[in-house]
Amino acid sequence: MDERRTLSVPGKPTAMSTDGFSSFSEDDRGDDDDVVPYSDDETDNELDSSTERLDDIEQSQIKEQPDDQRQAKNECTWKVKANDRNFYNQFIVTKYGCYKTSKYSGNAIRTYKYNLITFLPLNLMEQFKRAANAYFLILLILQAIPQISTLAWYTTFVPLLVVLGITAIKDLVDDIARHKMDKMINNRLCDVLQDGRFKSSRWKNIKVGDIVRLKRDDFIPADILLLSSSEPNSLCYVETAELDGETNLKFKMSLEVTDRLMKTEKELETFDALIDCEEPNNRLDKFIGTMYWRNQSYPVDANSILLRGCTVRNTETTHGIVIFAGADTKIMRNGGKTSFKRTKIDQLMNYMVYLIFMLLILFSTGLAIGHTFWQSEIGNFSRSWYLDDGINDPPTYRGFIAFWGYIIVMNTMVPISLYVSVEVIRMGQSYLINWDLQMYYAEKDTPAKARTTTLTEQLGQIEYIFSDKTGTLTQNIMAFKKCSINGTSYGDLCNAAGDKTDKVELVDFSWNSYADGNLVFYDHYLPQLIRSEKDPSTAEFFKLLALCHTVMVEENNGQLVYQAASPDEGALVTAARNFGYAFISRTQNAITISELGIKRTYEVLALLDFNSDRKRMSIILRDPEGKIKLYCKGADTMIYERLHPNNPIKDSTDEDLKVFADETLRTLCLSYKDISEGEFTKWNIRFQAASVSTSDRDAALDKVYEEIEKNLMLLGATAIEDRLQDGVPETIATLKQGDIKIWVLTGDKKETAENIGFSCQLLTNEMTLYDGEEINTMLTKMQGTHLTPREPTQNIFKSDENPAMIITGSWLNEILKEKKRRKKKWFKRPKTESEKKMQMEKNQIDEAAKEIRQKDFVDLACQCSAVICCRVTPKQKAMVVSLVKKYKKAITLAIGDGANDVNMIKTAHIGVGISGQEGMQAVMSSDYAFGQFRFLQRLLLVHGRWSYIRMCKFLKYFFYKNFAFTLVHFWYSFFNGFSAQTAYENWFITLYNVLYSSLPVLVVGVLDQDVTDKLSLRFPKLYIPGQKGSYFNFTKFFLSLFHGIIVSMIIFFVPYGAFLQTMGQDGEAPTDYQSFAVTTASSLIIAVNFQIALDTSYWTFVNAFSVLGSIVLYFAIMFDLHSAGIHILFPSGFTFTGAAPNALRQPYLWLTIILTVAICLLPVVAIRFMSRVVNPSETDKIQMNRKKYEIELLPKPGRPSTFRRNASVRRSAYAFSHQRGYADLISSGRSIHKKGQRSRPRIRTQTEETAGANTS
């Protein structure tokens, strides 16, 4: 992020500036859309949200306080004393009203939930928070009361024990994994200064104020203030991939005073500085503090801070003092709050369970009333003397007891195994994602990983995807592709004579000893032109690329190694190197390059660095002949405004820029200017004065820069490809066909984000682009005329346009009325009651207006075909996601790769992390992770869709089979005096959901496929029913209940009718209760298992085995439980002795079972056949034409298509760096001179790695 701030010379005592804390308001916001708004942490809970603004008098009183006093009271309240652990004993805070602990966190992190002592009680407490588990616990207690229950206690205890046990084992396995991860991180080793020597210590033992030593490739254990390093002037290179996803190295630089005096163990041991700094926060790129040492004060900023989560690179040894540890570190503060994510189906399922519970109470009440009536009219002693039980209870009391009896008997209406079955299915689906080889990224050895097992079916209902850009859509790798020199375009397929050709042949750069051999270029004429030295413009073009930059260079084993502040600069300097103009070395005042093998040294007179306002950089040089030249490169809009009126190639270069833009390349214009000695001398006086200005130095420098950067001569333009990850455009196009909206939320510049939008086909030429100012105007106008898009049919945009929105973070705050909260003031005048009331009313009005505004914005944005939010902070990313969740009630997915995406990932319903070279912070906070963005379409359209359909099938079948099973008791009650007598044997009731009907539906829930994975990707529209919740909703639920009720009637009344006045083959009537129970149970088991067979779309051996095996298992267990042997062992527990053998030897009963099953299933078959013929769904149509589509999907030979768009006036901007380059470092001279000759391992730059990948 580019922050305009006063520069100070490191190591010199100076007063701290308090800029950067001014409130963001309409007056503060400039016209630059690229300015990143306020820090996301400044609206966090760390600030006192109740702090009220002071009136103007009080504000003026505060302003009269000295700057350092205000800062001390408001900001720098975190104190760190070097080498003094006892210093922190005075900072004690009280938690929970009684527990006292240190204000400073230890460095150990803890993400696990249980330990050996707390696992059982805490886990059981969590499980019994579920309404179903608590309900069955109450039932178990009721079953222990003999007067109430007609069922044995084990009929509820066994299923409950199985459910609790499986869930506990799953939770235990997950927590053990967390323990292992925490242990691995906390036990990493680091050198800590103890007793005058560096000793190896575990990370968990590091404390604030400790002096640590880090070595090359070490992970940084805490947030550390850099004191010194083995590099010249204590530079330290760090990789921040885990923080921001960027793989180019960043440099940090210590204070000059500690660089000079903090090298040896003895010097470090005597270091006793006190550091006052800001409290722990989650702002990754901000740090304000002051170091007090030896009666001097030194300003400390983010340039000297090494953050936890980064890795030390290319630096042999680094020393630092721990500022923030453990939970106080910025990376941990960026983690956000972890909320328990629940799927939409979970919520539906809970409502349905509550509804079933109400039905259970209703049925039990009705049957209890029936029992009361029966007792008073039929079952009393005077009429039915044989029913006298010797207890003289009134009918109402007996009805009350019958109510609880029926609650127990029909408790299976509320399915106890539902939740555990859902967890088992989700776990199986998660393993299938983990095992999917088509989501394995071989280049980085990264498989797909489902990091949660509770959200799989939600993947089939995504409506909005929020994606980061850098490292997620792109590889953050730049490649030099084309250029325009003196009005001529180079980079297409051309032979050495300059004629265009269709032959694809790489240019051979072996003639150049400095070439790295990795540049992919197809125009053979340009190298020939350069080598011939016939075109001065070409030589000047590449000379500019080799000279005008802030790249650092090292030579290692004869190879040049570049370290650039951005991948763009690295790509340009490397391109010049391959074309014969190699940047070799630089000092504070000179740059040496090789021009076609001849080394030439240029004197650096001034370096005019890049920033987000200038969007260009310049360098003023004196060549070996003594001539002074200015070279300038920058965005075309900036360069064209400063060109000399007489520029003959202006129009032709502009045409080339349009062509480059059509190819979605990032463009950059190059220009130069000859400067006379007198002109430079006069300008240099003003430049030197601005360089040492103590007030608003940046503005003074920019003004001086403008004076010299005019009347430039245009040289040409470069075109760089910001390479997308493989398959990104195709993935986005496929997902959009599935009616999934994709929003890009990035911290990058507006031009860069727009360019990538076109590259990945998120934006097209046919779209009308609206920026923040236009959107703000539209919303204001709509609210002024009370025309809001809240009506479902209202469309704000024109009917014939295809709108897209590109909005920056500053405009986002303006539109959503998100103002920066002010820092808590140390002085506040108490307000009167009337003032408080007025303030409260004003706040309520503002909050209501803000909510209306936010809803209007979301509705407006959702009408756009594409939305890109650029220059946004991590908190703004999360805010956009939460607004869509809140106002659209849509299922969201966020995908990112860095720590700046963690908030967004945690806020969305589904969080996806891109793993691999970009770091692991986003992955650790995500629900799913894989190596490339393109795998997202398979995750959603294949696994997500399958998982959703499987879960819907499971739930519909589960409710059906439980109602079919339970309501047989209801019908039986009309024939047993409503006495709560069960229709089945107790052990059948116990094992029905556990063994007899569970396996087939679990197999369907894990393995079923309605269409193949290839057809799922071929027809993305199949995904739309999941977004609408078409496969499982209250309508489907009631149909399942109705189906279960009908089947329960068939299961009861068909055998009941068959048993009336029936004679068996042996002359005996099989009309006893036990034979009837066996017949109904057998009919039920066969019917429900055949029903799941009808519901199965994808048959495997496992499916067939589960269906037939369940039926066989039922008969095997039943014959065993009805045997005489087990009755002898447990006479009270097994009372159906011989019932199954006696009943099932009757052919008549087998015919009854077959008839019952046929009546249950044949109507289902007929209805489904008619539905498929008369009104087939999209899935039915694809299934019927499956073979034809599969033949179409076979690979066919064909030429690859190249993505090109029509002519466009759009410009794709050169990105430079997101921060200032290395100009300040170069100008200071601190990084130039080595402190001794020593060899260092070779550094591979981002550009080298890219080019290598290109070649391969």
Best-predicted range by mean pLDDT among 150-164, 177-191, 758-772, 1041-1055? 1041-1055
**Given this model, what pLDDT does residue 339 score?**
60
For the segment 306-331, what is each residue's pLDDT rounded down to a tens digit?
Answer: 998 888 987 889 999 999 998 888 88
| Closest-CA residue to 151 (of 413, 375, 411) | 411
What does the pLDDT read at residue 848? 82
3-state class (DSSP) for residue 100:
strand
Q: Tell which wins on pLDDT, 833 or 326.
A: 326
Residue 595: strand, helix, or coil: strand
- 1238, pLDDT greater than 50: no
Helix, strand, coil tally for the chain in percent (to 5): 45, 15, 35
What pLDDT is recorded for position 324?
A: 93
Distance CA 85, CA 293 (A): 18
Where does residue 222 rank: exposed (0-12), middle (13-18), buried (19+ CB within 10 A)? buried
φ and ψ of 473, to 5 deg: -85, -35
Phi, psi of 501 (to 5 degrees): -145, 165
pTM: 0.74
CA dist 576 and 572 (Å) reads: 6
Q: Which residue has the higher pLDDT, 1237 or 638?
A: 638
In sequence order, what are the residues at sequence separation of 6 or more whose Cβ sits closer than 8 angstroms to the Cβ of residue 1062? 1069, 1070, 1071, 1148
Please name the helix (run of DSSP H) or strand (run of DSSP E) that holds residue 969, with its range, or none.
helix 945-973
Q: Say if CB 289 and CB 76 are below 8 A apart.
A: yes
What mean pLDDT value characterizes the chain? 80
Average pLDDT over residues 25-46: 38
Q: Which amino acid does the sequence have at 788?
A: T
Highest mean pLDDT among 263-272, 384-393, 778-787: 263-272
Question: To 5 degrees, how large is the angle CA 789–CA 791–CA 796?
Answer: 30
pLDDT band at 136 (very low <50, low <70, confident <90, very high): confident
Has residue 793 got a pLDDT over 80? no
Q: Quick check: 1215 pLDDT over 50? A: no
Q: What is the mean pLDDT of residues 1131-1140?
A: 78
Q: What average pLDDT does the segment 1209-1228 reach?
A: 52
Q: Rounded distance, CA 823 to CA 29, Å?
A: 19
Question: Lowest-confidence range among 4-13, 555-564, 1197-1206?
Answer: 4-13
- In the structure, what pLDDT confidence band is assigned to residue 60 with cuts at 50, 70 and 90? very low
pLDDT band at residue 784 using 50, 70 and 90 as cut-offs:
low
Least confident of 99-103, 818-822, 1037-1041: 818-822
Q: In the prediction, which pLDDT does 382 show?
A: 60
pLDDT at 106 over 50: yes
Instruction: Please determine, for residue 1255, whether its predicted confidence score (pLDDT) is greater than 80.
Output: no
Confirm if 172 and 115 have CB atoms less than 8 A apart: no
64 pLDDT above the threshold of 50? no
pLDDT of residue 823: 45
- Rounded CA separation 874/243 (Å): 11
Using CA atoms, how far apart are residues 223 and 499, in angstroms rounded to an integer? 58
pLDDT of residue 1216: 47
Q: Which residues pair with 777 in a beta bridge?
A: none
What single letter denotes the amino acid at residue 218?
A: D
Task: Point out which residues pair with 79 in neighbouring strands.
Answer: 276
Q: Collapse the DSSP code of 1229 into the 3-class scheme (helix H, G, I; strand E, B; otherwise coil) and give the result.
A: coil
Q: Which of 207, 201, 204 is nearest to 189 (CA)?
A: 201
- Residue 442 DSSP code: G
| Structure tokens that stand for 950 in this block | 């499987």
pLDDT tens figures, 690-714? 876 656 767 888 889 999 999 999 9
CB 423 within 8 A of CB 170: yes
Residue 431 scores a pLDDT above 70: yes
Q: What pLDDT score was predicted for residue 1196?
A: 61
Give the residue-averaged pLDDT of 741-756: 82
% the chain with pLDDT above 90 = 30
CA distance 739 to 724: 23
Residue 131 has pLDDT above 80, yes or no: no
Model pLDDT, residue 247: 62
Give me the pLDDT at residue 11, please. Answer: 40
Cross-strand bridge partners of residue 483: 490, 718
Query: Strand order of the sheet with strand 317-324?
Result: 197-202, 189-194, 211-215, 317-324, 223-229, 305-306
pLDDT over 70 (residue 22): no
Return the amino acid letter for 878.
A
Q: Is 174 a catalytic residue?
A: no
Rounded distance between C-alpha atoms, residue 211 and residue 198, angstroms: 9
pLDDT of residue 302: 84
Distances (CA, A) of 76 to 71, 79, 887: 6, 8, 39
pLDDT at 750: 78
| The pLDDT value given to residue 1066 | 58
Cα(705)–Cα(698) distance, integer angstroms:
10
Write the burial class of residue 342 (CB in 10 Å: 0-12 exposed, 13-18 middle, 19+ buried).
middle
How far apart are the C-alpha atoms of 543 and 581, rounded to whole Å? Answer: 6
Where b means 16+ CB within 10 Å and e means fewer, 433-455 reads beebeebbbeeeebbbbbbebbb
Comparing 605-614, 965-974, 1013-1022, 1050-1059, the range with the smallest average pLDDT is 605-614
Compute the distance between CA of residue 971 and CA of residue 1076 in angstroms, rounded to an integer: 13
Find the range with the poorest average confidence among 391-405, 596-610, 731-745.
391-405
Task: Please tell me which of 131-135, 832-836, 841-845, 1101-1105 the model is most confident about, judged by mean pLDDT.
Answer: 1101-1105
- State the average pLDDT over residues 1047-1064: 85
Average pLDDT over residues 917-945: 84
How do residues 1185-1207 score in pLDDT, each as one tens digit?
Answer: 877 777 776 766 554 444 444 44
In degrees, rounded to 5, the angle at the alpha carbon of residue 543 between the alpha carbons of residues 540 and 549 is 130
Instruction: Detail the DSSP E strand segments found in 386-532.
Output: 449-450, 464-467, 474-485, 488-490
pLDDT at residue 949 greater than cutoff 60: yes
Lowest mean pLDDT among 91-105, 162-176, 215-229, 253-267: 91-105
Of 147-161, 838-852, 926-940, give the range with the top mean pLDDT.
Answer: 926-940
d(CA 134, CA 131): 5
Residue 579 has pLDDT above 90, yes or no: yes
Q: Which of 2, 191, 223, 468 is catalytic?
A: 468
- Structural contact between residues 864 and 837, judged by C-beta atoms closer than 8 angstroms: no
The predicted structure's pLDDT at residue 335:
63
Residue 1048 has pLDDT above 90, yes or no: yes
Residues β-bridged to residue 1240: none
User: Residue 1064: pLDDT band by 50, 70, 90 thresholds?
Assistant: low
| Closest to 72 measured CA to CA, from 226, 288, 304 | 288
Q: Would you state the pLDDT for residue 867?
A: 92
Contact, 581 vs 682, CB < 8 A?
A: no
Q: Which residue has the higher pLDDT, 1126 or 510?
A: 510
Please list, in sequence order, all residues whose beta carbon lies within 8 angstroms of the beta carbon of residue 158, skipping any fewer than 6 positions away.
990, 994
Return the higher-pLDDT residue of 279 and 285. 279
pLDDT bracket for residue 1067 (50, 70, 90): low
Amino acid in the structure at residue 1063 = M
CA distances from 866 to 791, 805, 886 (A): 21, 6, 19
Is the pLDDT at 383 greater than 80, yes or no?
A: no
Residue 96, pLDDT score: 58
Token code pair at residue 318: 């680094």
The DSSP result for 548-590, as a single string, is SS--EEEEETTEEEEE-SSHHHHHHHHHHHHTTEEEEEE-SSE
The predicted structure's pLDDT at residue 636: 86
Spatial distance between the Cα atoms of 865 and 801, rounded to a whole number of angstroms = 10
What's the rounded Cα separation, in Å, for the pair 963 and 412? 8
986 pLDDT band, cuts 50/70/90, is confident
1079, 1106, 1081: which is closest to 1095 by C-alpha? Answer: 1106
Tell me which long-range contacts 593-601 makes (C-beta under 8 A, separation of at least 24): 593/543, 593/546, 593/547, 594/514, 595/539, 595/543, 596/530, 596/531, 596/533, 597/513, 600/624
What is the C-alpha separation between 617 and 1221, in angstroms, rounded?
Answer: 10
Q: Is the pLDDT score of 35 beyond 50? A: no
Q: What is each CA distance from 380 to 385, 401, 405, 909, in whole angstroms? A: 7, 16, 19, 60
Query: What is the DSSP code (8-state) at residue 347?
Result: H
- Angle, alpha carbons 266-267-273 (nearest 5°): 130
DSSP calls for 833-867:
HHHHHHHHHHHHHHHHHHHHHHHHHHHHHHTSSEE
Mean pLDDT over 420-438 rounds to 89
Confidence category of residue 201, pLDDT binned at 50, 70, 90: very high
The single residue listed with the structure tokens 């722990």 is: 280
Cα distances (angstroms) measured from residue 219 to each of 181, 193, 229, 318: 15, 17, 15, 12
